[in-house]
Amino acid sequence: MQISLQQQVALVTGASSGLGEGAARALAAAGAAVVVNYNSHAEPAEKLVEEIRAAGGQAVAIGADVSQEEQVEKLFAQTLEHFGHLDILVANSGLQKDAPLVDMSLADWNTVINVNLTGQFLCARAALRQFISQGMRPGVSRAMGKIIHMSSVHQLIPWAGHANYAASKGGVDLLMRSIAQEVGEQHIRVNSIAPGAIRTAINQQAMQGDGEAKMLKLIPYGRVGEAEDVANAVVWLASDLSDYVHGTTLFIDGGMSLYPEFRGNG
Ligand code: NAD
């Protein structure tokens, strides 16, 4: 079945690399006009925009730090200046600042919470305000708007040495479900994706040496994920094919959240 997102505008945060880049590319291939948000590196974002345009799509790169209220407001205002409306938000930006809890600095705690959780709040709020002010767009989508939060298997699985990250993603889960409960009646769909181990910059170090082999022990399906695995789910969640999917987290993890340590009777 072919998914078409023609006439829709998608904003993807943190789209200059990894899962955001993959999502932006896939949304554009499905026909959406795409805003490629980046934080500090404009060049890869501009390169992706060129690639999308060369393939006949529409895209623009806009810089903004998602943890800064004013910058988020500007990002959404610039999105409207370029494309006139907004239909899909993929709140993807995220980072890790790992340390055992006893060594974790308040600065690293705050950075992770500010980007991974407050950034999701600021972007979701701006998207909701825009969806509500523009109203339904009959013939374009059955929903008034769609929000996809990028969470992690660590919204469920505790993660020693990464307490700030796990706390931020646990927060994303209840943020997403609370928003979904709040705006469902307005036909705004809100869901999360919880990736497991997907090959991107965020876990490049963890995959080095025997890292990948160790990781595979945690993945019943027997392979590390690729950005495309997540991008395909983003496109589906953004489309009317998932119109009755609301307030849910889709785990894309090759079974990592199935407690694989219990294979062989634990
Ligand atoms: P990545 O490092 O390639 O991408 C993260 C993106 O977020 C980067 O483009 C970065 O510029 C952006 N970003 C960071 N701080 C920002 C800020 N203040 N404002 C705007 N953008 C900012 O890694 P990724 O794997 O593509 O991560 C994308 C999302 O997926 C993150 O939320 C991450 O937590 C989540 N995730 C990834 C995996 C995985 O295995 N790769 C697993 C679970 C969850």
Atom 12 of ligand 1: nearest residue by CA position = 14
What distance in Å separates the CA atoms of residue 48 and residue 91, rounded to the nearest whole number? 18
8 A C-beta contact, residue 39 and residue 64: yes
Q: Which of 90, 62, 66 is nearest to 195 (CA)?
A: 90
> pLDDT tens across 88-120, in order?
999 999 999 999 999 999 999 999 999 999 999
Q: Is 231 in the pocket of ligand 1 (CB under 6 A)?
A: no
> pLDDT tens across 139-179, in order?
999 999 999 999 999 999 999 999 999 999 999 999 999 99
Position 46: which residue type? E
> pLDDT tens across 168-223, in order?
999 999 999 999 999 999 999 999 999 999 999 888 998 999 999 999 999 999 99
Q: Is 165 a catalytic residue?
A: yes
What distance in Å separates the CA atoms of residue 61 and residue 42, rounded to the nearest whole number? 8
> pLDDT tens across 217-255, in order?
999 999 999 999 999 999 999 999 999 999 999 999 999
**First vs last C-alpha separation in the chain:** 41
Candidates 65, 95, 116: which one to mutate for ligand 1, based on the most atoms within 8 Å of Cβ?
95
User: Domains of the chain, with CATH numbers?
Assistant: 9-254 (3.40.50.720)
Q: What is the position in ligand 1's atom list of the atom closest to the CA of 41?
A: 11
The pLDDT, as a whole number, for residue 60 is 99
Between the alpha carbon of residue 3 and those of residues 27, 38, 235, 238, 244, the distances in Å are 10, 26, 8, 10, 16
The pLDDT, as a whole number, for residue 41 is 92
8 A C-beta contact, residue 73 and residue 65: no
What distance in Å separates the CA atoms of residue 251 and residue 207, rounded to the nearest whole number? 20
**Running DSSP on this structure, what letter comes out for residue 198?**
B
Three-state DSSP state, 243: coil
8 A C-beta contact, residue 24 and residue 47: no
Tokens representing 257 are 């959240």
* E strands, 14-165, in order: 33-38, 59-63, 88-91, 145-150
